[in-house]
Structure 1
């Protein structure tokens, strides 16, 4: 059984590395083509940024594999031995926290390198070491608190409730929904400052747009995202009455009011089509199957690992394998998400009254965020929650781009 898991994880690692290699080769070739949507300097810079990130991703994947081998061959037994004589509920909380802390320590150098080397080199990073450390402490403590409560609760369910996998799923899924409710008003403000939009004229236009869509929210807020990052973004956060419109301060500096309204129209399209609820339902279905599998793991697996079949070991195995499990469903989730993006674009045009402002906004977002607009078909298939921006522009009727012979490249069919 352990050999089967090892083979599955090895194939997962192999596929991830292969996708990254293909993406690097594709972008290395595409960057020598005439630029699309960008000035030549930005075109080259965005391609180099993407290639640099893919190379780092390959190294991260190799370390992920080494960490998996560590846990499977020795680490899980080490945690089980360390927590041998502890009450099973408390043991689960301690064991899960040890697992998370070790993984965090291994992954931290990559986060630091991404932020202070790669993002710094490409002029994205605005964070300071002091702010970075504060973020890590806050995020780490929040994660450990939530993990302790959840792992102890699931352990109690495993010990005391028949068909524990089903009730554990209900608990975890309920917490996911709850965190979506709490995020905009309680969690996000722990890391960023949110202030009401001061531009009264723009605020009024946004409110009128929201009313046309039947969108009720707590208001329109500006987040001080520029203290960490130079990239542009906007989102609707929360569920139910906790929903709020959040604009990055960087976005307000770069987009005109009409372009901003077009972007918000796109986000409203997701609301109008219930995409958030559909995504939560899809995640719920995937988790349901995952917990069913978890609840029917053979005892032989724990014997081969040399550990007791305790709630703590069941939970750690779940966390160890969840990345592989979700990766299997990623193409489906990405495909659904890309289709939702096209529908949201169409709704934005419908509610805003024209496509020109959304087209203009998308072009600015690509240029400002240095998002290389072309990707290999495998990268799109597995990872892209949004369609390639050139495809979105074509669907919006943009005729300003001379695609020439790019169609092959857009599909990822060029020779590598």
Structure 2
């Protein structure tokens, strides 16, 4: 019975997500879709058609990827994971090494199968619409760097989590604590160590813009280590600016692709990002995500402790059982996504309002957002249900 419940909930989640994706594409690219009135001063019919074609191409690829993922996941659930468990158990008697090999095999297969889709996305779709500036050399180098980082950070973390599971029958709270601390650590580490491995960051040279940004930061008593420009153009022509890091790793980062924007437009985008910090959205999101992790891991623990998984899927190792439990619980918690999106959207509106109040006008933010929508070929008419 549990086998059918497990598969039904998993497939319900996957198929519903797939249906929403296709529905959104059909709704947004239908002949009835029109340019919203608010964008008519910036976006032409030619721009609109290009954005719809971009959405079609990306969605068509996403649908193929989703179908492949569903098929692969079902194969793993029914046959793959039990086979991997037997395989790694025959290779070593070390429980932690077994777990590392188990998740390593799973990750390697996923990586190899997703690689052709990533290549097509970057070098065909993004290239077709003029976004891609990534060279094959950069693409391969990025992959190698990502694998090395995953090994350096992932193996110690996974080893610690496996040790906790094996050594403590009531491991859930220690597991949750380690995950939360690790997430905070990565947020601190990323801007100083990880991001510079992929991009070059150099201090903003435009003194006039720098003074304006520093003045803006001073208004809200926000301190950063520096204001940096990132060489985003070596991978994409898309535009962005953001604040990153926590504590002494906080910094302002401007894509070099945004430097053609007016100073007021750049300031409005940064003021929006400042709004997230001043309104304590980052702290709130960390708190909410921590509570979610605790609840998620506790529910996983309860399922892990029951005999349902081992008797249904014929696995006996804790790393196999916990993976099945994670898949099942994540399929259930997927349906609270609208609540998470509601909170996220609320924070975005608050940040927009903060930007307007800080600059004393909404015009630069409106202009910059319209320009971002146009230049990034964003979807102008998302399905209302999809937005939820």
Provide TM-score, normalisation by structure 1: 0.88
Aligned to 1:395: none
Aligned to 1:61: 66
Query: Structure 2: how far apart are the matches of 1:137 and 1:322?
Result: 32
- The answer to whether the Cα contact below 8 Å between 1:223 and 1:246 also exists between their aligned partners in 2 is yes
SS of residue paired to 2:381: coil
Q: 1:197 to 1:283 in 2, by over 3 A?
A: same
Tell me how far 1:319 sits from its aligned partner.
Answer: 5.6
Aligned to 1:90: 97
Aligned to 1:218: 225
Q: How does 1:10-409 map to 2 (within 5 A)?
A: 10-29=11-30, 33-34=34-35, 36=39, 37-84=42-89, 85-253=92-260, 255-297=261-303, 298-308=306-316, 310-317=317-324, 320-321=327-328, 324-325=331-332, 327-381=334-388
Q: 1:353 to 1:34 in 2, by over 3 A?
A: closer
Query: Structure 2: how far apart are the matches of 1:38 and 1:55?
Result: 24
Query: Structure 2: how far apart are the matches of 1:361 and 1:300?
Result: 53
Which structure 2 residue ranges, 5 or more long, are not aligned? none
- The answer to whether the Cα contact below 8 Å between 1:193 and 1:224 also exists between their aligned partners in 2 is yes
- The answer to whether the Cα contact below 8 Å between 2:300 and 2:326 also exists between their aligned partners in 1 is no
Query: Structure 2: how far apart are the matches of 1:311 and 1:150?
Result: 16
- The answer to whether the Cα contact below 8 Å between 1:88 and 1:311 also exists between their aligned partners in 2 is no
Q: 1:145 to 1:299 in 2, by over 3 A?
A: farther
Query: Structure 1: how far apart are the matches of 2:168 and 2:376?
Result: 50
Query: Structure 2: how far apart are the matches of 1:193 and 1:319?
Result: 37
Query: Structure 1: how far apart are the matches of 2:323 and 2:132?
Result: 34
Tell me how far 1:318 sits from its aligned partner.
Answer: 5.2
Which structure 1 residue ranges, 5 or more long, are not aligned? 382-416
Post-superposition Cα deviations, 1:80-126, rounded to whole Å, max 9, x if no partner, equal 11111421122112211111111111111111111011111111111
Query: Structure 2: how far apart are the matches of 1:258 and 1:50?
Result: 30
Post-superposition Cα deviations, 1:363-413, rounded to whole Å, max 9, x if no partner, equal 1111111112220012101xxxxxxxxxxxxxxxxxxxxxxxxxxxxxxxx
Tell me how far 1:302 sits from its aligned partner.
Answer: 1.6
- The answer to whether the Cα contact below 8 Å between 1:93 and 1:147 also exists between their aligned partners in 2 is no
- The answer to whether the Cα contact below 8 Å between 1:270 and 1:340 also exists between their aligned partners in 2 is yes
Q: 1:180 to 1:158 in 2, by over 3 A?
A: same
Paired residue total: 379
SS of residue paired to 1:354: coil
- The answer to whether the Cα contact below 8 Å between 1:290 and 1:325 also exists between their aligned partners in 2 is no
- Considering only aligned residues, what root-mean-square deviation do their CA atoms show, in Å? 1.6
